[in-house]
Amino acid sequence: MSGQGGGFLQVPGGLAVTLAAVLLGCAGDPPPPPSAPARVQNPDPSALHVGGSGAMTPLAMRLAEAWAARGGQPAVVVAESIGTGGGVRAAADGALDLGLASRPLTPEELRLGLTVLPAGRDVVVLAAHPSVPVEGLSSNELLALHRGQMRHFPDGTPAVLLLRDRAESANRALDLAVPGIRQAREEAYRERRHRVLYHDSAMAEALRATRGALGVFPLGAIVSLRLPLRILALDGVQPSLENVESGRWRMSRQLLLVARPDRLPRAAAFLRFLYSAEAAQLYRASGYLPPAAPPEGAP
Amino acid sequence: MIPFDLSRWFRRRMLPLVIAAAGILLVAAPLSYHLAKRRELWQEARARAVHVGAALRGEIELRPLLWRYDMPKLTERLAAEGLLGVPRLVIHDADGVAVPLDVGPERPVRGLIWGRAEVVALGRHAATVWVGADAAPLWHGTAVLAAVFAVLAVSLGAVLYLLPMRAIGTAQRRIRVLLGQLALTLQEEDRRRIARDLHDGAGQALTAARLRLLALERRVGPGEEIADLARLLDEAIAELRRSAYALAPPALEELGLVRALERHCEAFATATGLQVQREIDPHLGRLPPTVETACYRIVQEALSNIVRHAGARRAWVRLARDSNWLRLSIHDDGRAPPAPAEGQGLPGIRERARLLGGTTSLTILPGQGLRLEVRLPVEPL
Ligand SMILES: Nc1ncnc2c1ncn2[C@@H]1O[C@H](COP(=O)(O)OP(=O)(O)OP(=O)(O)O)[C@@H](O)[C@H]1O
Ligand SMILES: [Mg+2]
């Protein structure tokens, strides 16, 4: 009698459990499997692959052109900018032979065991759309722009501040020159007050296309790519290589090259060129300061 | 008396069913909610993965070789556009190698529901995107719903189980009383049959013998032996009549309990010299025959015990009804032994009361008389 009752109950019970298990299993994709081990990459051993910080990419292109013009081997291929962080990681993985950096390496990056070489300095400027009706700005005006308090230039042209992403090293350079700018910028990010651009190429495009636009930008890119942008003075000081050397213009960045030690021999010939007097001229002509001298231990 | 315990039988049958019903109620709603919500979260995660995949595709087409080194900017951009906002984002390249994203320290989550999207760029499979949604709100919602439905399920189970259990308990009590009454009725019928047999059989024979003796006396003339024989026969006939009368009191059916008791007490007092005080509620009305008979028999036995064992001069008989109980109390001013021996009378009283669903109690009073109290249910059946 009771056995019958038990049997009657077991069937829907078991069915429900099975059904639940099946349904629960269905709702969701399987989680990601553990990562496969990273391999050392070596895309094309016949060329020297260079890339990284957008601040140095235009210079690297000019140098590569000059290297090609004098028949240098191996040929140098410069990649689209992927930022300093990307350049360092790609160099560590072997995807690039030389990584371009426009900021000091972080402790984690230093732990990757890369060789770090000085590669001169670049100059960070305030670049503006040609329609901007002023020759320069004061620190206070720049702060007011960040805080959204200043929306027009004196003649009524709208002022459009364009920001780079947080990790951009040009921001660090500006922080050194204008006290309080860092906080104002963080606030602007939080409140989404201004448009944010994530690459030098996108920034150049936005500066060129937007009336009243201005923002921090590398001088080297303007000069070497001949960008039709206006360069503004800050607190009465005009940005120039001389003013950087004399210390009057404070917004500049140390440029670095990073490489796996096993890739250095392949890059040796190009590096010798990079530290040559001919390259130094090219540096200046492109709006960059050349490295003082090849460092100890450089090939 | 009852062939099986109805409550136990019902419990065995019904409890698993009630538990199953409550269980289904408890599980069904939270489970449906959980499944529907989980599906929704999954589809949301999938949609986000597809969205990230679309942005990623642009990056891959722009930098076919080096895109995997530029991901922090992609994620920062997605976050700034409010398109990320998920606890986990994982991207693998075509070789299954995790792409560094620099999304900062991951906030710990207890459960994740993953949505996946494949990225095809430049005509080949280039990457896989996983977006993990936090399952904690899902579990929380399920728990709240389960708690609510647990209360409902317990209430439903209690109602489904306790109501029939109570009805069955009542029914079982009634059946027990009915069976007791039936047993007593059969017993009374037996007694009446024996009384009739005594009266019609032995009684008629003795009466016939007495008449013959009378005829004999007339023929041979009076003599001492005949007189002795006549006296013995008269005694036997009287004894037989008493027994028959005791076995089946004819008064009860004709007069009803109240007057039958009055008459019995009076007759008993006259016969034995015991003073019997009566407090019998005259408005009792007619009670079920089994109850009336039980009362009558109990008074009979109690009075006879008093005369036989108590050495009492007075006895009190009380009968009253309060709501559904009939209360019968008999006590005397005699002397009761501290521990009365067991004959057949007192156990018989207890058995009658029990069969009718009633109770009995014996108390020794301060003056050492004995009080017998009986409570019988007379609830309407
Ligand atoms: N009213 C009473 N006063 C004193 N003792 C009593 C009284 N009623 C009963 N008893 C004691 O309880 C005992 C048991 O009584 P019970 O009626 O069961 O048996 P009984 O009267 O001895 O024999 P019987 O089977 O013929 O009734 C008696 O023997 C007597 O000692
Ligand atoms: Mg007795």
Atom number, ligand 1, closest to the C-alpha of residue B332: 1
Distance CA B239, CA B228 (A): 16
Residue of B nearest to A8 (CA): B17
CB B295 within 8 A of CB B326: yes
Confidence of residue B104 (pLDDT cuts 50, 70, 90): low
Q: Which positions ≥6 away from B314 have C-beta within 8 Å?
A: B274, B275, B276, B277, B332, B333
Q: Is residue A54 situated within a structural domain?
A: yes
Query: Which residue's CA is minimally distant from atom 1 of ligand 1?
Result: B306
Give which of A15, A89, A109, A258 to mutate to test B binding, by max B Cβ within 10 Å. A89
Residue A239 and residue A281 in one domain = no
Residue of A nearest to B113 (CA): A28
Mapped onto helix, strand or coil, the DSSP state of residue A299 is coil
Average pLDDT, chain B: 87
pLDDT of the residue at B117: 94
Residue A28 and residue A47 in one domain = yes
Q: Is the pLDDT of residue B199 over 90?
A: no
Residue A128 and residue A238 in one domain = yes
| pTM of this structure | 0.60
Q: What is the whole-number distance in angstroms between the Cα of residue B307 and the centre of ligand 2?
A: 10
Work out whether strand B88-93 and strand B124-134 pair parallel, antiparallel, or are unpaired: antiparallel
ipTM field: 0.74
Q: How does DSSP classify residue A22?
A: H
Q: Is residue A56 situated within a structural domain?
A: yes
Residues 151-180 of A with CB under 8 A from B: 165-167
B30 interface with A at CB cutoff 8 Å:
no
For domain B6-139, is the CATH number 3.30.450.250? yes
Distance CA A15, CA A175 (A): 66
For domain B250-381, is the CATH number 3.30.565.10? yes
Residue of A nearest to B78 (CA): A198
Domain encompassing residue A172: 123-246
Sign of the CA dihedral with B256 first, then B257, B263, and B267 last:
positive
- The finding on whether B345 has its CB within 6 A of some atom of ligand 1 is yes
Q: How does DSSP classify residue A80?
A: P
B203 interface with A at CB cutoff 8 Å:
no
Q: Is residue A10 situated within a structural domain?
A: no
Residue A116 and residue A215 in one domain = no
| Cβ atoms within 10 Å, residue B162 | 11
Which of B74-78, B238-242, B304-308 comes out lowest in average pLDDT?
Answer: B74-78
Q: How far is A100 from chain B (nearest CA, A)?
A: 13
Q: List strand residue ranges (DSSP E) for B162-313, in order.
A: 275-280
Q: What is the whole-number distance in angstroms between the Cα of residue B109 and the centre of ligand 2?
A: 84
Distance CA A224, CA A58 (A): 6
Return the CATH number at A229: 3.40.190.10
Q: Is residue A297 situated within a structural domain?
A: no
Give me the residues paired with residue B5 across strands. Answer: none
Q: Is the pLDDT of residue B2 over 80?
A: no
CB A287 within 8 A of CB A224: yes
Q: Is residue A14 situated within a structural domain?
A: no
Residue A175 and residue A132 in one domain = yes
Mapped onto helix, strand or coil, the DSSP state of residue B179 is helix
Q: How does DSSP classify residue A232?
A: E
Of B16, B95, B97, the CB nearest to A6: B16
Residue A31 and residue A128 in one domain = no
A13 interface with B at CB cutoff 8 Å:
yes
Of B62, B76, B132, the CB nearest to A166: B76
CB A122 within 8 A of CB A131: no
CB A66 within 8 A of CB A282: yes
Per-residue pLDDT of chain A (299 residues; tens, 9 = 90+): 333 433 444 556 666 666 666 555 557 888 888 888 777 677 678 899 999 998 899 999 999 999 999 998 889 999 988 889 999 999 998 889 999 999 999 999 999 999 999 999 999 999 999 999 999 999 999 999 999 999 998 888 899 999 998 888 899 999 989 999 999 999 999 999 999 998 888 899 999 999 999 999 999 999 988 999 999 999 999 999 999 999 999 999 999 999 999 999 999 999 999 999 999 999 999 999 999 866 655 55
Distance CA B172, CA B183 (A): 16
Q: Is the pLDDT of residue B80 over 70?
A: yes
Residue A161 and residue A208 in one domain = yes
pLDDT of the residue at B105: 65
CB B377 within 8 A of CB B335: no
Query: What residues does each domain of chain B span?
Result: 6-139, 250-381
Cβ pair B100:A89 closer than 8 A: yes
Q: Is residue A13 situated within a structural domain?
A: no
CB B125 within 8 A of CB B95: no
- Tokens linked to A127: 């670049």
pLDDT of the residue at A288: 94
Q: How far is B74 from chain A (nearest CA, A)?
A: 8
Nearest by Cα to A118 from A258, A286, A8, A287: A258
Residue A68 and residue A176 in one domain = no
Residue of A nearest to B71 (CA): A86
Query: Which residue's CA is minimally distant from atom 29 of ligand 1?
Result: B341
pLDDT of the residue at B185: 85
Sign of the CA dihedral with B32 first, then B37, B38, and B44 last:
positive
Mean pLDDT, residues B53-57 taken together: 91
Q: Could you read off the pLDDT of B4-42 as tens digits, one per residue?
A: 678 888 888 888 888 898 899 889 889 999 999 999 999
Q: Could you read off the pLDDT of B271-296 as tens digits, one per residue?
A: 889 999 999 998 888 888 888 889 99
Q: Is residue A298 situated within a structural domain?
A: no
pLDDT of the residue at A81: 85
Q: Is residue A69 situated within a structural domain?
A: yes
